[in-house]
Structures are given as C-alpha cells and as structure tokens.
Amino acid sequence: MPSTDNCNSRDTNIVSGIGFMGFDCPGCNHGRHRENNEFLIPYSSGEQIILITPSGTENGQASAIGFGSTFNSLTITSSGQIITGQQNIAFLLPEKSILSDLNIYFTNTNPLSTSVTTQVIKAQVYISTTPDNTFTPLNDAVVTLQPQIIGSIIAGTSFLGQRNNLKIKLNENTRIMLVFSLNYVSGDNISLTVLGYSSAGMTLKDRC
C-alpha cells in the first residue's frame, strides 16, 4: 500500500514536467507544496554579455541573464542595489523555497591580456522581496569563477564555479535575478572589458 507519511511518499500523484518532478505533500498546510522536491532552473545568456570593471568613480557594468536572454548596462549602486527600471529579466517565485545549488559557466569571446591587475568574474543572485524593481544581493548566493583574469587569456576560455548546499530560505513572490560582474582583486585597479556568453543552473527545493 502506498505510503503517504508526512511528505515522504513518491507513490502518489507523481508530477513531471520541464525542469521538475514532484509529489503531493499531505502534511503541508496547502496542497501545492512538495517537500524535498528539487526544481532545476536553467539559465542561458542567448546574446553576448558585456562586463566592465568598476574603477575609481566609474560604476562599471554588470549583466543579467535569463532563459535565453541578456540585459546589459546594469549598474550596481554604491549600496549594492540594482534598479532595473523598465527591463524585466527576473522570475517570480511562486512559493516559498530553499536555494540549494548554483552552477555557473562563462566563456569569453575577446582575448584578454593584463600583467598589472588581477580580476575575477562573479555571478550573484539578486532578489526583490517587495516585490518591485529594486534588487539587493542575496547573502552567500555568489559564485566566483575560475580561472582569475591575469596574464594572457585566449578567446574561448571556460570559466567555471559552483556553490552547493546553500540552504537559503526564500519567500513566496520573491523576484530572482542572476547577475554577472567583473571584480578587482589585486594589482592596479584599472577597468577591463570582458565579452562573452554564459549559462547557469540553479537548484531550488520546496519547503512546507
């Protein structure tokens, strides 16, 4: 006889679709929650993204990616916020969840050469809990890609990074945006421009 004990049954009401597989959670306070179920969120930049290092009084340029789309010309304010205005590249979380894993990939399309500065590409999750068009960085949901940018980097180099078992709780109706940026590490604080394409995967888990 199929078990329905406190969200642990995989024998009843199996649901499958793009990016997820779920099961009913009888112990939850409403039927749509599925305890311990994982949702895989795929990202792809589609068109080329443009990253510019902040330097001096210049803010630099970050880029957000969606599901085959890109929004360049993002500015991260001195307080760390991003205001998107009329652009929309964030998705809305339909129910409270746990952000578990982030896997990030980037490949540059322009060769890079620098001997006086070390910089890194980062991917950061930004959220708006109101929700509105003002996004703030989500603590710990940041991935620093390797290798670092120093010396000569040929076009087509693969930059990779991941964070696992983050266990970050997110509330229903939170807007989520994935943002790439170029960041100074050491040496001369000069501005670099990196062009390329990116993709990523995010794992969300339901919680009762």
- Please write the tens of the pLDDT for every residue from 142-193: 999 999 999 999 999 999 999 999 999 999 999 999 999 999 999 999 999 9
| Residue 207: pLDDT over 60 | yes
Cα dihedral sign, 136-138-143-144? positive
In a domain, 29, yes or no: yes
In a domain, 206, yes or no: no
Cα–Cα distance for residue pair 56/194, rounded to 1 Å: 18
| 3, 50: one domain | no
In a domain, 15, yes or no: yes
In a domain, 208, yes or no: no
| Residue 27: pLDDT over 70 | no
Q: Which residue has the tokens 């990779």?
A: 160
* pLDDT at residue 36, rounded to an integer: 62
| 88, 155: one domain | yes
Confidence band for 55, pLDDT divided at 50, 70 and 90: confident
CB 38 within 8 A of CB 101: no
| 28, 59: one domain | no
Rg (CA), the chain: 19
* pLDDT at residue 153, rounded to an integer: 97
Cβ neighbours of residue 190 closer than 8 Å, sequence gap 6 or more = 53, 55, 114, 116, 117
| Residue 32: pLDDT over 90 | no
Rounded to a whole number, what is the distance in angstroms from the first to the last CA of the chain?
24
| 124, 159: one domain | yes
Q: Residue 107 burial (CB < 10 Å; 0-12/13-18/19+)?
A: middle
Q: What is the mean pLDDT of residues 12-34?
A: 43
| 69, 128: one domain | yes
In a domain, 205, yes or no: no
Strands 70-74 and 62-65, by their bridges, are antiparallel
* pLDDT at residue 123, rounded to an integer: 98
| 62, 4: one domain | no
Q: What is the mean pLDDT of residues 101-119?
A: 97
| 116, 172: one domain | yes
Q: How many Cα atoms are found within 13 Å in the side-chain-facing hemisphere of 180?
A: 35
* pLDDT at residue 9, rounded to an integer: 39
Cβ neighbours of residue 173 closer than 8 Å, sequence gap 6 or more = 92, 93, 129, 131
* pLDDT at residue 2, rounded to an integer: 47
| 69, 14: one domain | no
Confidence band for 86, pLDDT divided at 50, 70 and 90: low
In a domain, 68, yes or no: yes
In a domain, 157, yes or no: yes
- Provide the 8-state DSSP code for 170: E
| 28, 116: one domain | no
Q: Is the pTM of this model over 0.95?
A: no
| Residue 118: pLDDT over 70 | yes
Q: What is the mean pLDDT of residues 112-125?
A: 96
Indicate the number of domains in the chain: 2
Containing structural domain, residue 14? 1-36
| 85, 185: one domain | yes
In one-letter notation, the amino acid at residue 206 is D
In one-letter notation, the amino acid at residue 58 is E
| 102, 183: one domain | yes
